[in-house]
Chain A
Amino acid sequence: MFEYAPAPESRSVVDIKPSYGLFVDGKFVDPTDGGSFKSINPASEEVLAEIAEAGSQDVDRAVRAAREAYEKVWGPMPGRDRAKYLFRIARIIQERSRELAVLESLDNGKPIKESRDVDVPLVAAHFFYYAGWADKLEHAGFGANPRPLGVAAQVIPWNFPLLMLAWKIAPALAAGNTVVLKPAETTPLTALLFAEICQQADLPAGVVNIVTGAGETGRALVEHPGVDKVAFTGSTEVGKAIARAVAGTRKKLTLELGGKAANIVFDDAPVDQAVEGIVNGIFFNQGHVCCAGSRLLVQESVADRVLESLKRRMAQLRVGDPLDKNTDIGAINSAAQLARIRELSDAGAAEGAERWSPPCELPDRGFWFAPTIFTGVTQAHRIAREEIFGPVLSVLTFRTPAEAVEKANNTPYGLSAGIWTDKGSRILWMADRLRAGVVWANTFNKFDPTSPFGGYKESGYGREGGRHGLEAYLNV
């Protein structure tokens, strides 16, 4: 046997303060009401820091700071100068990447190999990419002199805390807006470290404001009359509430919500790579991915073979300490999320689907869920319809390409889809018919700042990334 010795990344590379204030007008300030909450490490349930909770007065202060910065500094600033700040931020992110990766894994529970190799490099890439647009907006296809919107209220989720921050802040700033951003209450720490990076980059005060808190803070922010733009990534339920709240106002809205993506494997697929794609599709980031390939649609004639390979591969997944460089699957982000995953998995078993997990030892403390697949799932099962947002895969079969399309589209969501086949013409035929914002062919969960991302139907509207991502922050 070849046992890998523990290979933990050092957590001493990052300094976590005992408590954090709100980042308003370029400074860390105490909240007016003095409320606070704790952010914990989901892998150990250890308290990492005490975080200020922003009330409506704090939100108001942040929005006013953003407004003033927009009117006096950032809005009038030439694009080439805004670009300098964004390039500087991107470079500092690269320089401090180890620190950011360790902090992200501590606060979120995701394995260090993902925060190190995926999240943080993509964050830097996003800032570099949009920095390049800042002085070229007239060439983006939105007219001769596209104007920013003003103050953007941005509310982001806990699954990719820093990456979602980058997706929101980089295009907003490049287009000339200022922002007030609320990170998720379970994962605020990298956003607060980002605030320090803004200070280090000498970003003018008020251009970026970070208000921490839970649902009430978010509501105060999106409902604030002083914001011109609302951008939200999170659950469909909250997204609908936000859409109702901003209806009838001047606020421009983009939503990136839930998903229940089909990952479709045809009988001529490259099996070994398809299995990697299935694993990456659903077990990447513990399945806490809105575009996760959570429904595997496999052609019946190869289903046994694919499932056998998949189970063998799943037995190789290493679940445990997120800071260990060899960990493949880390901790579930919160007790609440773990409860939801358990509830839906139990419903799957109760409704008659067959449940399987590889033998794996889970740590005693913290929130953990073994990688799981359900076979014998039909379209009528809850686990085929509802977003689980965890390492749980539902396996369905199909007979013909048309049936695959029909089943794939038979969901209220439409964020992403995957196709696995050696036949190029079939990829194009399928991509034409799948109602999903992103269609991956012979790969899955590939992200790039140049590529637009967003949903159909109840997965939301608007696009993030690429040239298209600028539209959400321009008055067009």
Chain B
Amino acid sequence: MTATATSARSELSELGRSETALRTFLHGLPGVDQVGAEQRAAQLGTRSIKTTAKAEAIDLAIRMVDLTTLEGADTPGKVRALAAKALRPDPADPSCPHVGAVCVYPAMVPYVAEVLRGSGVHLASVATAFPSGQAPLEIKLADTRAAVEAGADEIDMVINRGAFLAGRYKEVYDEIVATKEACGDAHLKVILETGELATYDNVRRASWLAMLAGGDFIKTSTGKVPVAATPPVTLVMLEAVRDFRAATGRQVGVKPAGGIKTTKDAIKYLVMVNETVGPDWLDPDWFRFGASSLLNDLLMQRTKLTTGVYAGPDYFTLD
């Protein structure tokens, strides 16, 4: 890191001390023109990724999947099966890579941990009164600590959207800082719930807020509100992590989650990463897909590329 980046970083770390400083900074960020951002995202979606490039992209996308189940009906049996799938997504093909992580509720963490131990597949748990985040801070922090103690090495927290939309940025900031502390060594992914933030200006501000407060990843959505990850929202977040690294030297990851169901969609996101932030982010440590059904489509396309024919859906496991 250069000397200027270090000093910029220490200046930026001061921002969290005052509501006024935070507000001035966040509202001083360049605006996002909605039409332009959507047009750029759509343009990137017209790239044509074929043959060898497609094969590489599919394997990379599989390694980036956070295989997720977040249902009231989740049981130990269900999450164990999911974890087994994470380790060997395609039982018929040992060359198929494992996914990036399994993502579950805190109560399910111990069962997943048993299966994943020592595998290199990360164990992510949502926490902080996911998905609404509408609980007292102590409860959110206890939720986080419990998940880490049970074996999660990644925590997906939700920001306090109510406070953000009311303009109480410091409250949001402080909650993220406290959650980061409660995480200990676990990586913190900060869910912005962009579908509730509504404007791209808000997405950019919330992204910076989460990064300033120490988030290791910024994530679009819980998957529990009607609008989840979209290409333009992800584009704005990628621009934010790019600019944040330029200003501070610290790299932050991005995770679009919800609504990404097909290989075609996943490849569009990888193209966007490639052309917006570059190859440094084309790695499961820096980019993830929060998804469940996406994995089987990736596997189906992978099989098609290696064998030349599509296999029926019954050749891929449903977990």
CB of B282 within 8 A of CB of A2, answer: yes
Question: Is B73 at the interface (CB under 8 A from chain A)?
Answer: no
Question: Is B314 at the interface (CB under 8 A from chain A)?
Answer: no
Tell me, in angstroms, the Cα distance from A279 to B275 when the chains sit together: 14
CB of A2 within 8 A of CB of B239, answer: no
Tell me, in angstroms, the Cα distance from A4 to B44 when the chains sit together: 13
A5 touching B49 in the complex, CB below 8 Å, given contacts A270-B31, A270-B33, A442-B35:
yes
Query: From residue A236, how far is it (CB to closest CB) to chain B in Å?
Result: 31
CB within 8 Å of A: which B25-49 residues: 30-33, 35-37, 39-40, 46-49
Q: Quick one: closest B residue to A4, CB to CB? A: B53
Tell me, in angstroms, the Cα distance from A129 to B282 when the chains sit together: 45
Give chain B residues whose Cβ lies under 8 Å from the Cβ of A3: 53
CB of B48 within 8 A of CB of A325, answer: yes
Binary flags per residue of B232-263, CB closer than 8 Å to A gives 1, else 0: 00000001000000000000000000000000
Contact of B54 among A5, A277, A326 (CB under 8 A): A5
Give chain A residues whose Cβ lies under 8 Å from the Cβ of B271: 2
Q: Quick one: closest B residue to A444, CB to CB? A: B36
Give chain B residues whose Cβ lies under 8 Å from the Cβ of A463: none
CB of A443 within 8 A of CB of B36, answer: yes
Question: Is A117 at the interface (CB under 8 A from chain B)?
Answer: yes
CB of A277 within 8 A of CB of B36, answer: yes
A442 touching B53 in the complex, CB below 8 Å, given contacts A271-B30, A326-B48:
no
Query: From residue B249, how far is it (CB to closest CB) to chain A in Å?
Result: 16
Question: Is A273 at the interface (CB under 8 A from chain B)?
Answer: yes
Tell me, in angstroms, the Cα distance from A212 to B243 when the chains sit together: 53
Question: Is A432 at the interface (CB under 8 A from chain B)?
Answer: no
A2 touching B37 in the complex, CB below 8 Å, given contacts A117-B46, A270-B32, A326-B47:
no
Give chain B residues whose Cβ lies under 8 Å from the Cβ of A273: 32-33, 35-37, 40
A268 touching B31 in the complex, CB below 8 Å, given contacts A3-B53, A5-B53, A326-B47:
yes
Question: Is B279 at the interface (CB under 8 A from chain A)?
Answer: yes
Question: Is A71 at the interface (CB under 8 A from chain B)?
Answer: no
Question: Is A422 at the interface (CB under 8 A from chain B)?
Answer: yes
Q: Quick one: closest A residue to B32, CB to CB? A: A270
Query: From residue B197, how far is it (CB to closest CB) to chain A in Å?
Result: 17
Give chain B residues whose Cβ lies under 8 Å from the Cβ of A19: none
Contact of B275 among A268, A269, A316, A325 (CB under 8 A): A316
Question: Is B2 at the interface (CB under 8 A from chain A)?
Answer: no
Give chain B residues whose Cβ lies under 8 Å from the Cβ of A5: 49-54
Tell me, in angstroms, the Cα distance from A270 to B57 when the chains sit together: 31
CB of A272 within 8 A of CB of B37, answer: yes
A7 touching B49 in the complex, CB below 8 Å, given contacts A2-B279, A272-B239, A316-B275:
yes
Give chain A residues whose Cβ lies under 8 Å from the Cβ of B60: 2
Q: Quick one: closest A residue to B274, CB to CB? A: A2
Q: Quick one: closest B residue to A442, CB to CB? A: B33
Tell me, in angstroms, the Cα distance from A270 to B204 when the chains sit together: 12
Give chain A residues whose Cβ lies under 8 Å from the Cβ of B51: 5
Tell me, in angstroms, the Cα distance from A48 to B51 when the chains sit together: 29
> Which residues of B does A touch, CB under 8 Å?
30-33, 35-37, 39-40, 46-54, 56-57, 60, 239, 270-271, 274-275, 279, 282
Report, nearest first, the 10 A-B pairs whose CB atoms are least far apart.
A273-B36, A7-B48, A325-B48, A273-B33, A270-B33, A5-B53, A271-B30, A2-B274, A270-B31, A5-B51
A-B contact list, 17 entries, CB within 8 Å: A1-B279, A2-B53, A2-B270, A4-B49, A5-B51, A5-B53, A268-B30, A270-B32, A272-B30, A272-B40, A273-B35, A273-B37, A276-B40, A326-B47, A422-B31, A422-B33, A443-B36
